[in-house]
Chains A and B, each alone.
Chain A
Amino acid sequence: MSSGKRVSGGEHFMVGDHACAEGALAAGLEFFGGYPITPSTEITEHLSRRMPELGASFVQMEDELGSLAAVLGASAAGARSMTATSGPGFSLMMENIGLAAMMEIPCVIVDVMRGSPSTGLPTAVGQSDVMQARWGSHGDYSIVAYCPNSAQECFDLMVKAFNTADEYRIPTLVLMDEVIGHMTERVMIPEAAKIAFSGRKRPVRPPQEAAFLPFKADGDGVPPMAHAGEGYKVHFTGLTHDEKGYPALNAEAHRALVTRLVDKVRLNAAAIVEYEGLHLDDAEVVVVAYGCTSRSARQAVLTAREKGARVGLLRPITLWPFPEDKLRRLLRKGVVKRFVVAEINMGQISREVERLTQIPVLRVNHPGGAMILPEDILEAALS
């Protein structure tokens, strides 16, 4: 596809990786720094073709360490910026995810998950990076992670991811998986005017007028962001810092800063969390599944209903923050007798569910290489 337009409005038959790239362009992507890695390469290749048409900067970096660093620099200079990778590259990005959180530089990181650990199964599906996405960089910080289950959602959630990253000044992750990235299906791209856009909060007064405190947060926990070259003479550091941005290497400053970084997402979770429910109202068994696995789970739930079994599906669209309020509400009704968590790893989101409930949690896992079959989920749901 080479429309020469930022928003390729209309109906398309499109592979998930390309839909992801088109979503980024529609969101106003201005800088991409990345390194080829299966199964995300089609995102990088597509952007290398599309960005030069739009006056946006595409740079193929020397590695994933440099990729995310360049993304952060470009974003610090005011550009909407992203990278795309898979497990091994995602691991290399961990340190700079912490830097993004600490410097509060918005960015979008797409991780198309494959079978892991290590080089694992480069061309085959996995959902192995869910906990790494949440906890991978050292220390406490917060991120948002979206998890699409269709090519359409790859597009839609990229737009959302850029808005969320800017709104909260956080690294925002889009956790695709190999099946979703490589699956071709119908994608409706709206016209440009219908693409939601919410940008960064910016300093309201010019730099000459008053001393600007680049890390002084407003009531919502988010400080307005000044960019390089605007005259504010900002200092950004990965060290613990005060509201001026100056290093403040003591426990009190650390508590104030890290608490705020964590609270930005924790206290706004209700506004951020997204999920999809199917037949949850009377469900005695709730299947929790996400990404490509949610498509098998959906089939399992529909089959169970045909058999008269009261089975429902909870599909987190934000894996992080996890829709724990929804889970608690389901539990309060007292109808749910069992959870079934299906995921292509040895048990990651199942830990979140187990943390939130006393009732049995059945796991349907395998470590990667193929999708989980609806039959396997159905069997667990009906057992």
Chain B
Amino acid sequence: MNAEGAKIASSHHLDSLFRADRLPHILCPGCGIGPAMHCFAQAMLESGIPLERHVCVSGIGCTGRVAGYVNVDSYHTTHGRAIPFALGISVVRPDLKVTVFSGDGDLISIGGNHFIHAARRNINLNVICVNNFNYGMTGGQAGPTTPLGAKAATAPYGNAERPFILPYLAAAVGATFVARWTALHVRQLKEAMVRAMKKKGFTFIEVLAPCPTGFGRPNNIGDGLEEMERYRSRCVVNHRAALHELDLDLRRIDQPFVLGNFVDIDRPHFRPPMIEHGPAAEFGRDERSAERGGDGMEGAP
């Protein structure tokens, strides 16, 4: 377009939120990570928390690269270990707002053990999981979210395994806020992120995102636009949905994608025991009563 005289904007109002000197990013055309990252940047701004107090931690994979693009203190760690790395930051600097931004393979497969235990402990952490149903960075292999029967680079005859339903899993292991949106629902996604940032405790947001290169192509879904169109035409927002019924299969045209802010509860978040506060259970109660003055039970199923 530039050659035909159209101008490329030289600046953008969110420039300060990104490491502009690292752009363009490595993500494929049609990828959903970019919009999710944009929502995250916008949410940091709207959270009212100064950028100096935001920290972004990621693991490995396409989504793991997000930590390298957002202009806050950011840590691109080992595969699967973003959550415990972030736990360390969160525990010693409880004044910081720590977000783990990573992919489904990183957080739920190789990092699955940390995910369930951080949620159980209710570590003060926001987890944003971009779910694109496959391992994108390594070229489209099957993962723990690949739908049963879907084709992947390591499932040429169709995936033989049942996938996780991530909001169901997150709620079961103790997350205090659980939402699912898509890379198309940028307003709702950004608002969910702001809500998560304003909470104490372990929050989880699943972001459904097109991966035309790794998942769309072998499953005849078409390009990123076509996948976005499926999100648009088949999504149903139901904040009170039964979480065990939230199966997803992009290939099936008869199945709705249920989106929403499914869980929003308060329970005492983790703090290491300090004896001046008395035993852990004691200060846990204090914490809970303090928090009830704030967020309340809004949106709980």
A residues lining the B interface (CB < 8 Å) = 30-31, 33, 51-53, 55, 57-59, 61-63, 65-67, 69-79, 81, 95-96, 99, 103, 228-239, 246-247
Contact = CB atoms under 8 A, between A and B. Distances in A.
B73 A228 contact: yes
Contacts of A230: 52, 73
B78 A69 contact: yes
Contact of B96 (A30, A63, A69, A229): A229
Given A52-B272, A73-B88, A236 B93 contact: no
Nearest to B16: A233
Interface in B34-74: 51-53, 55, 57, 67-68, 71-74
B68 A247 contact: yes
Given A52-B275, A74-B91, A229-B52, A239 B84 contact: no
Given A52-B272, A59-B272, A233-B73, A73 B89 contact: yes
A95 B110 CA distance: 13
Nearest to B121: A59
Q: Give the secondary structure class of A's interface.
A: mixed
B86 interface: yes
B242 to A, nearest CB: 29
Contacts of B71: 233
Contacts of A33: 84, 87-88
A229 B57 CA distance: 13
Contact of B273 (A58, A66, A235, A239): A58
Nearest to A72: B85
Interface string B86-125: 1111111101100000000000000001100100000000
A81 B52 contact: no
Contacts of B90: 73
Contacts of A55: 274, 276
A239 B114 contact: no
Contacts of A235: 19, 67-68, 74-76
Question: Which 5 interchain pairs have the tightest Cβ spacing?
Answer: A73-B88, A74-B88, A66-B84, A69-B84, A69-B81
B77 interface: yes
Contacts of A53: 275
A75 B84 CA distance: 12
Contacts of B57: 73
B12 interface: no
Contacts of A99: 77-78, 81
Interface of B: 19, 21-22, 51-53, 55, 57, 67-68, 71-78, 80-81, 83-93, 95-96, 113-114, 117, 272-276
A95 B111 CA distance: 14
A246 B51 CA distance: 19
B92 A246 contact: no
A65 B80 contact: yes
Contacts of A95: 78
A250 to B, nearest CB: 15
A66 B114 contact: yes
9 contacts: A30-B92, A61-B117, A65-B80, A69-B84, A71-B88, A74-B88, A76-B89, A229-B95, A233-B73
A137 to B, nearest CB: 10
A246 B19 contact: yes
A66 B117 contact: yes
Contact of A73 (B76, B85, B117, B272): B85
A52 B274 CA distance: 4
A73 B75 contact: yes
Contacts of B19: 235, 246
Contact of B88 (A62, A81, A247): A81
A59 B91 contact: yes
Given A57-B92, A69-B85, A246 B53 contact: no
B4 to A, nearest CB: 33
Contact of B93 (A77, A237, A247): A77
B107 to A, nearest CB: 13
A73 B78 contact: no
A181 B68 CA distance: 42
Given A62-B113, A62-B117, A69 B73 contact: no
B53 A31 contact: no
**Residue among B75, B113, B275 with the most chain A CB within 10 A?**
B75
A59 to B, nearest CB: 6
Contacts of A237: 67-68, 75-76
Given A235-B75, A239-B76, 14 more contacts: A52-B275, A66-B83, A66-B84, A66-B114, A66-B117, A70-B87, A71-B88, A72-B77, A73-B57, A73-B75, A73-B89, A76-B89, A238-B78, A246-B19
A97 B169 CA distance: 31
B114 A62 contact: yes
A58 B88 contact: no
A135 to B, nearest CB: 18
A59 B88 CA distance: 9
B84 A65 contact: yes
Given A52-B272, A63-B113, A239-B76, A74 B67 contact: no
A5 to B, nearest CB: 13
A236 B92 contact: no
B204 to A, nearest CB: 17
A56 to B, nearest CB: 8
A345 to B, nearest CB: 28
B78 A74 contact: no
Contacts of A69: 77-78, 81, 84-85, 87-88, 114
Nearest to A58: B272
Contacts of B67: 235, 237
Given A232-B73, A235-B67, A73 B86 contact: yes
Contact of A234 (B73, B83, B84, B117): B73
